[in-house]
Amino acid sequence: MSGPAVGQVTRQATGRAVADFVRDRVLGLLPARADWAAVRRSPRQDLLAGLTVAVVALPLALAFGVTSGLGAQAGLVTAVVAGAVAAVFGGSNLQVSGPTGAMTVVLVPVVQRFGPTGVLMVGAMAGLVLIALALARLGRYVRYLPTPVIEGFTAGIAVVIALQQVPAALGVTDAHGEKVWAVAADAVTRFVVHPKPAALAVALAVAALMLLGARWRPRLPFSLLGVAAATVLAELAPVDLVRIGALPQGLPAPSLGFLDLDAVGVLLPSALAVAALAALESLLSATVADGMTVGQRHDPERELFGQGLANLASPLFGGIPATAAIARTAVNVRAGAASKLAALTHALALAAIVLAAAPLVGRIPLAALAGVLLATTVRMVEAGSLWALARATRGDAVVLVLTFAVTVIWDLVTAVAVGLAVAVVLALRAVARSARLEQVPLDPGEHRAEEHALLAEHIVAYRLDGPLFFAAAHTFLLELSEVADVRVVVLRMSRVTTMDATGAHVLGDAIRRLRGRGITVLLSGITPGHEQVLSTLGVADELRREGLVFPDTPAAIRHARTIALGAADVGAPAAAATV
């Protein structure tokens, strides 16, 4: 075939591969007709559920916007824009997205280092990362995240959010510190010097109303009622309360003014952290929603894709990075939502509030929003679940406490990394302990009694059970190297479940040590997968050349008997090549 012909074939193959990728990956992530079939079943119920969620989401969106450092307007914009985009393109019919407390924990350091434009840039970059994760089909692997890590950083996030509310709850506006706990401590110090009891009373009253009211009438939006009552009080009574401030009526015009390609390298770690948190929280929220319903199952890849598009759209209007909100999603499910229409209605209702009631929203006291978030943090922590995990195993308790402590003291990303690392080490330790090197009896067959005694004295068979990998290899080498007073060792490999390069090297080292002491080593039952590892690394090649590798254990034992009996006839140890 000529050069041009080869080039044409290559281009055709590449074109087909691209077409297949677009059809299987990209088009599979876009909304389909079946996604909206549920909308026609109960539109009225979905509309009511969406309005219910909007009532709950309004104070939370305002509060999280203020806490993030970009202001209440950014929180509302995020709830509207990201909420609508994620509702349309996400992989769950029940998911409600917007600003969340966990995301503000990650964003506060970004605001301090890079300012508001840095946050917008980080959000857009995180959106691209989420889309890449969806195309790579990595959403399904979030299910493997250990429960102690999830519970540990959830509890840590709750504490961090509560600490973030301390300045607003105390009416302090000029608290400083590098970490959130340092800022909270500084706020307490300033409050002691110049106390403002009105702000503290409002924050505690709103929090108490939410927590007690939820037990009395769970369906009533006590967060909105508490904020409304605090706003009326601030207007009528002569109290000194800091307000949200003026908000523009309507959404800002879309803009790409925040783009700074030179800052990509500096902002990339923060963008990866935001993307990881958005993926984790969204997929966990979708899983929770599935568990609360019958017949609903989310698509993890489409959920990542929808969240990616939402985080690309939100910065265009000045919004902060968004993710699915477990609390708002739960309200949506309990309100009877059955399709994406409910989450979309929630976003449109918030947009209507922005257009019609921006001046009124701007009069809300910050202390009231602090009370809303203080109550939210109490709901985030399930003490029973934490206590059960702490008592489950010592390893689970260590991972839980460590993840929680690092979240509060340092940051969320470090906490998840540390928690995962410790969990992996503990898991490897447990798996390594499951690997066994067990001496097994030989089947004597029909040999005479003196032959049985000879076999029992000079032949030993060991069965390797479980994984032979780097975490278990050292113990294996020590045990096998202590074999003594034998002429032939049969290593039965059929029950080895996993073997990596380290395990193969250790096996080869053990074989060389035994052969160096004049002991003949036979291998039996090597599976095809392990055969490839051993052959690639050149382990036991000499045994193969000498015919000392057998497909099954009976054949290996017959050969071992021949060697032992032959050695006994000449009154000398069995011949064995050494290295």
> What pLDDT sits at residue 380?
77
234-256 as b/e: b if 16+ CB within 10 A: beeeebebbbbeebeeebeeeee
d(CA 393, CA 419): 15
The packing angle between helices 197-216 and 147-170, to 10°, is 140
- Predicted local confidence at residue 575, as pLDDT: 38
Closest CA to 69 of 126, 116, 122: 116
Nearest-angstrom CA–CA distance, 393 and 379 = 25
Is residue 19 a contact partner of residue 26, using CB atoms and an 8 Å limit? Answer: no
Three-class SS of residue 236?
A: helix
pLDDT digit string (tens) for 54-98?
Answer: 888 888 898 888 888 898 899 999 999 999 999 999 989 989 999
| E strand or H helix that includes residue 97 | strand 97-98
- Tokens for 579? 């290295």
pLDDT at 16: 65
pLDDT of the residue at 576 = 36
Task: Note whether 435 and 463 are within 8 A (CB).
Answer: no
Reply yes or no on whether the pLDDT at 568 is more than 60.
Answer: no
Q: Which of 486, 328, 404 has its CA nearest to residue 160?
A: 404
Q: Determine the average pLDDT of the residues in 274-294.
A: 82
With cut-offs at 50, 70 and 90, classify the pLDDT of residue 11.
low
Res 506: pLDDT: 83
Q: Which of 38, 27, 22 is nearest to 297 (CA)?
A: 38
* Residue of 482, 524, 496 lying closest to 436 (CA atoms): 496
Q: How confident is the model at residue 151 (pLDDT cuts 50, 70, 90)?
A: confident
Residue 44: pLDDT above 90?
no
> 508: how many CB neighbours lie within 10 A of its CB?
18
Predicted local distance difference test score (pLDDT) of residue 127 = 96
Residue 241 sits at φ, ψ, to 5 deg, of: -125, 135
pLDDT of residue 513: 85
pTM (two decimals):
0.71
Cβ neighbours of 324 (radius 10 Å): 33
Label residue 401 by pLDDT band (50, 70, 90). very high
Asked which of 158-167, 472-481, 521-530, 547-556 is least confident by mean pLDDT, the reply is: 472-481
Strand partners of residue 462: 439, 491
Residue 405 has pLDDT above 50, yes or no: yes
pLDDT tens, position by position, 355-380: 888 888 889 999 999 999 888 888 87
Query: Worst-scoring range by mean pLDDT, 226-230, 432-436, 489-493, 574-578?
Result: 574-578
Quick one: average pLDDT of 280-306? Answer: 83
Phi-psi sector, 382: left (phi>0), alpha (psi -120 to 50), beta: beta
Per-residue pLDDT averaged across 258-266, rounded?
A: 92
Q: How far apart are CA 572 and CA 568, in angstroms?
A: 6
State how far the alpha carbon of 438 is from the alpha carbons of 213, 332, 459, 463, 510, in Å. Answer: 63, 56, 14, 5, 15
> What SS3 string covers 101-117?
HHHHHHHHHHHHHHHHH
Sequence ranges of the domains in the chain: 40-243+264-380+388-431, 447-565
What's the angle, vertex CA 123, arms to CA 118 and CA 127, rounded to 5?
145
In the CATH scheme, what is the code of domain 447-565? 3.30.750.24
At CA 70, angle to CA 54 and CA 372, rounded to 5? 45
In the predicted structure, residue 395 carries a pLDDT above the cut 50: yes
pLDDT value of position 578: 30
pLDDT per residue over 327-339, tens digit each? 788 888 878 888 8
- pLDDT tens per residue across span 126-147: 999 999 999 988 887 776 778 7
> Which range among 196-210, 255-269, 307-321, 366-380 shows the weakest confidence by mean pLDDT?
366-380
Q: Which two tokens stand for residue 70?
A: 């970009």
Query: What integer pLDDT is reported at residue 288 of this predicted model?
Result: 74
Taking CA atoms, 561 is separated from 214, 454, 459, 516, in Å, by 78, 9, 8, 21
Q: What is the pLDDT of residue 14?
A: 64
What are the residue ranges of helices labelled H in 435-545? Answer: 449-458, 470-481, 501-516, 528-537, 541-545
Give the chain's mean pLDDT.
83
For the stretch 415-433, pLDDT in tens is 878 888 888 888 777 777 7
Query: 446 or 560, which is more confident?
Result: 560
Closest CA to 307 of 89, 139, 26, 25: 89
* pLDDT exceeds cutoff 60 at 3: no
* Percent of all residues in the chain with a pLDDT value above 90, rounded to a whole number: 28
Length of the chain: 579
Alpha helices in 194-251, H assignment, sequence order: 197-216, 222-236
What is the spatial distance between Cα 379 and Cα 199, in angstroms, rounded to a whole number?
A: 22
**Distance separating alpha carbons of residues 45 and 336, to the nearest angstrom:** 6
Long-range contacts of 425-433 (CB under 8 A, 24+ apart): 426/395, 426/398, 426/399, 428/471, 429/471, 430/395, 431/466, 431/467, 431/471, 431/472, 432/467, 432/469, 432/471, 432/472, 432/475, 433/472
* Portion of the chain with pLDDT greater than 70, in percent: 86
- Which structure tokens are listed for 250? 């309507």
Q: What is the pLDDT of residue 314?
A: 96
CB count in 10 Å sphere of residue 127: 27
What does each C-alpha distance from 348 to 22, 24, 90, 354 come to in angstroms? Answer: 32, 32, 17, 10
